[in-house]
Chains A and B, each alone.
Chain A
């Protein structure tokens, strides 16, 4: 009785061994199939990132640093600051992805990132960006950005000027800030004036 049961149990691995398929992963020759939702290395859409640094603020490990990167959209990202991620510290929690207001940060299926030194796994926006503008597109966008900035400055100056005109009609308390505003506008106006011819030349 005892023996029979034991033999039955010893037979079980044999039986299963015949039935099982291969389980050893053949990495790195064959990468296992990863699901769509995989949280691997980040992918940055540099054309839409607005440089708000929300991702950097929410990261529990402070592994995101905002750095300069050329091939983004200067219209939306005025200072051209993009996230750089230190994968030595990243734990792939995905909070940065959730927090991004324009959904330009994603996590993809790439997971290989080994390097010889610590600095090798600090990945710049250049590495992360899956979508980016070409140098020419960036130049065009920059020009556009300058034009928009100039227009805005002119509009603001005009508004301030009209506000300043209206100000004397109002009470004394309101006078001071309005005047200050007008004064502050002075340099801005000048800058706008300077920007305009330049832009014209570029065009």
Chain B
């Protein structure tokens, strides 16, 4: 099996002088600074020779004191080996520009677009440098640079000038103050790019085609995003996505909050997966601090994360059923009733229903309450029989299968290439699960299978989710048997200031691979937090997936992905 030092020596021997700086953190983590001229070659080498077929994302970092910016490419493999290579490319802060990896990895597109709009780092060779999350007003302000001062300020309301348009509408114009212009927070010059509408209209080839909006407010989605489809009759010719409707800038907010306060923000990225988000952030910080989590706390974390996976899958599946309506409403109600049991279980430990803020650096907030195991022993067998019933119901319903079979098929190769993770990837038959690939906590000691599908269509994705719930129940039962007595927090005092360092930590979110890249500069706040969310990656595949389908299937496909725009936008 390949390990990090072998990967490093392979790069060094293939490209002498390309690695400017390197650190082998463990067998599974390689940090290397690559010469910006060679990055494309190095990546090509990694993907062709060393099986790095999973481009997991990219992060931008603004090192204002060093007067340079950094793009960190996160590369991994789909199960051939477990090394995650964090390749850094440096570029000067004046006119930052690096080579785009879109030619090598299809899914680099969105990650690079995001870095471009947030940091203003140009990607040479990127075909579509258009805004993704930000609105047009903020383009060119490069809000995630460290010298960004905020927009708009508190006097905006007073400065607003009322303008009546010829059509009878009222608009407001907010002239910038001279100080703002000087500080660079107000965009004086905007980069040139086509708007979404221009992009859409360019694609209309004949009179029989038209654009149809699904969203931003649509019954199809649990959160707002705009899905425009170019249709001819019933056929979708092309799909366009516009997100950023609930872009909260959580990564930037976390830079301005203390380490501890950051936990509360990870909850709010996706409320049905808040425990795994907590885990991901705390795990990364624990890695920098070098904290050991006591065994009991590890078990508690696993129990709760698996419970939260069950409730997330229940809501995901239930919601999907309402989307395809027809067969749907009754099971949705039943799933919500069942989910209530799980939520109550979680609530009895954390004290909150959805936003738990439960995991702490080096432990957890509360111990399991008395009688928790008994309660679990009541609820879990019930959940198990219910889930089995659900699986049977889905399997035997001919209407459902007529509707769902063969809809939105992703082939395994495509899924890997597009960077999908979680149930949509496993439904194609690729057994890729962070709990096995990058094991954390006590997962290596537990016995569970990675559930996979065979066809990769919408029906399979739902089936994988339902069967995963059974695995989760199995995991929790083992944990309850094995959980030892002991402290729930590390005895080491967690310092307010985290020593300088960086870490990348991955967990298996209910939706797939959730990774957080956390950098500390030794202060009491994170220097940078990059969230690599699972749905962001799945989201990106929606546009190619919808091409050539029927309008009616668009909803079934999008719904089967179990989307969470809130986490994609962050």
Chain A residues with CB under 8 Å of chain B are 2, 5-6, 8-9, 12-13, 16, 20, 23, 35-39, 58, 60, 91-95, 98, 107
A60–B396 CB distance below 8 A = no
Q: State in angstroms the CA–CA spacing of A94 and B366 once bound together.
A: 11
Q: What B residues does A39 contact at CB under 8 A?
A: 350-352
User: In the complex where A58-B261, A95-B357 touch, is A38 in contact with B347 (Cβ < 8 A)?
Assistant: yes
Q: Give bound CA distance, A35 to B352, whole Å.
A: 10
Given contact pairs A9-B397, A93-B263, A94-B357, a sample of 18 additional A-B residue pairs in the complex whose CB atoms are under 8 Å apart:
A6-B399, A9-B393, A12-B389, A13-B330, A20-B337, A36-B348, A37-B347, A37-B349, A37-B366, A37-B369, A38-B351, A39-B350, A39-B351, A92-B352, A92-B355, A94-B351, A95-B261, A95-B357
Q: Give the 6 A-B CB pairs with smallest separation, nearest first.
A: A39-B351, A35-B348, A60-B261, A37-B351, A93-B357, A13-B330
Interface positions of B (Cβ within 8 A of A): 257-258, 260-261, 263-265, 267, 330, 334, 337, 340, 344, 347-352, 355, 357, 360, 365-366, 369, 389, 393, 396-399
Task: Say yes or no: A37 contacts B261, CB within 8 Å.
Answer: no
**What are 16 inter-chain pairs, A to B, with CB distance below 8 A?**
A5-B396, A8-B396, A9-B393, A13-B330, A13-B334, A35-B348, A35-B351, A36-B369, A37-B348, A37-B350, A58-B258, A60-B265, A91-B264, A92-B355, A93-B267, A95-B264
Contact B264 A5 (CB under 8 A): no
**B132: shortest Cβ distance to chain A, in Å?**
27
Complex Cα distance, B265 from A58, in Å, reads 14
Residues of B within 8 A of A6 (CB): 397-399
Q: Whose C-beta in chain B lies nearest to the C-beta of A3?
A: B398
A93-B398 CB under 8 A given contacts A58-B258, A107-B351: no
Query: A98 touching B365 by the CB < 8 A rule?
Result: yes
Known: A20-B337, A93-B357, A94-B357. A12 touches B348 (CB 8 A): no
Please name the residue on chain B nearest to A12 by beta carbon.
Answer: B393
Q: What chain B residues lie within 8 Å of A5 (beta carbons)?
A: 396-398
Tell me what chain B mostly uses at the interface: helix, strand, loop, or mixed. helix
Q: How far is the CB of B303 from chain A (nearest CB, A)?
A: 15
Within the complex, what minimum Cβ distance (angstroms) separates A57 from chain B?
9
Smallest CB separation, A51 vs chain B (Å): 21
B396 touches A9 (CB 8 A): yes
Q: Determine if B337 and A23 form an interchain contact, defined as CB atoms under 8 angstroms apart.
A: yes
Q: Give the contacting residue for B355; candidates A13, A93, A95; CB below 8 A.
A: A93
**Which residue in chain B gives the minimum CB-CB distance to A8?**
B396
Whole-angstrom CA separation of A13 from B351 in the bound complex: 33
Q: By the criterion CB–CB under 8 Å, are A35 and B396 in contact? A: no
Given A5-B396, A6-B398, are A60 and B264 neighbors across the interface (CB < 8 Å)?
Answer: yes
CB distance from A68 to the nearest CB of B (A): 27
Q: Nearest chain A CB to B366's CB is how many angstroms away?
A: 6
Tell me which residues across on chain A come within 8 A of B398, comparing CB atoms. 2, 5-6
Q: Are B351 and A91 in contact (CB under 8 A)?
A: no
Q: How far is the CA of A44 from the CA of B93 in the complex (A)?
A: 50
Residue in chain A with minimal CB distance to B390: A12
Residues of A within 8 A of B347 (CB): 35, 37-38
Which of B334, B350, B351 is in CB contact (< 8 Å) with A16?
A: B334
Residues of B near A9 (CB, < 8 A) are 393, 396-397
Residues of B with C-beta under 8 A to A13: 330, 334
Task: Tell me, in angstroms, the Cα distance from A35 to B370 when the chains sit together.
Answer: 11
**In the complex, what distance in Å separates the CA atom of A39 from the CA atom of B354?**
12
CA distance A92 to B396 in the complex (A): 44
Chain A residues lying within 8 Å of B399, measured Cβ to Cβ, are: 6
Please determine whether A95 and B260 come into contact, CB atoms closer than 8 angstroms: yes
Given the complex of chains A and B, what is the CA–CA distance between A94 and B365 in angstroms? 9
Residue ID in chain A nearest B264 by CB atoms: A93
Min CB distance B457 to A, Å, is 20
> Which residues does chain A contribute within 8 Å of B340, judged by CB atoms?
23
- Say whether B396 contacts A58, CB under 8 Å: no
Closest chain A residue, CB of each to CB of B386: A16
Inter-chain CA distance A23–B349, complex, in Å, is 22
Most buried by B among A13, A39, A58: A39
* Complex interface: chain A residues within 8 A of B366 (CB): 37
In the complex, A93 Cα to B369 Cα: how many Å? 19
| Cα separation A39 to B350 with both chains bound (whole Å) | 8
List chain A residues, Cβ under 8 A from B349: 37
Min C-beta distance of B136 to chain A, whole Å = 30
Which chain A residues lie closer than 8 Å to B267 at the CB level? 93
What CA separation (Å) do A138 and B263 show in the bound complex?
Answer: 39
The distance from the CB of A1 to the nearest CB of chain B, in whole angstroms, is: 9
Q: Which of B344, B351, B365 has the most CB of A within 10 A?
A: B351
Residues of chain B within 8 A (CB-CB) of A60 are 257, 261, 264-265
For the complex, give the distance between the alpha carbons of A36 and B370 in Å.
10
Residues of A within 8 Å of B334, CB to CB, are 13, 16
State A38–B347 Cα separation when bound (angstroms). Answer: 7
Tell me, in angstroms, the Cα distance from A91 to B261 when the chains sit together: 12
Which B residue's beta carbon lies closest to that of A23?
Answer: B337
Residues in B whose Cβ lies below 8 Å from that of A2: 398
Instruction: Name which of A8, A16, A35 has the most chain B CB atoms within 10 A of its CB.
Output: A35
Hey, which chain B residues are within 8 Å of A16, CB to CB?
A: 334
Contacts of A35 in B (CB 8 A): 344, 347-348, 351, 369
- Min CB gap A156→B, angstroms: 31
Q: Return chain A residues, CB-CB under 8 Å to B264.
A: 60, 91, 93, 95
CB neighbours of A23 from chain B (8 A):
337, 340
Q: Are B355 and A91 in contact (CB under 8 A)?
A: yes
Q: Cβ of B258: which chain A residues have Cβ within 8 Å of it?
A: 58
B359: shortest Cβ distance to chain A, in Å? 12
| CB-CB nearest in chain B for A109 | B351
B357 contact set on A, CB distance < 8 A: 93-95
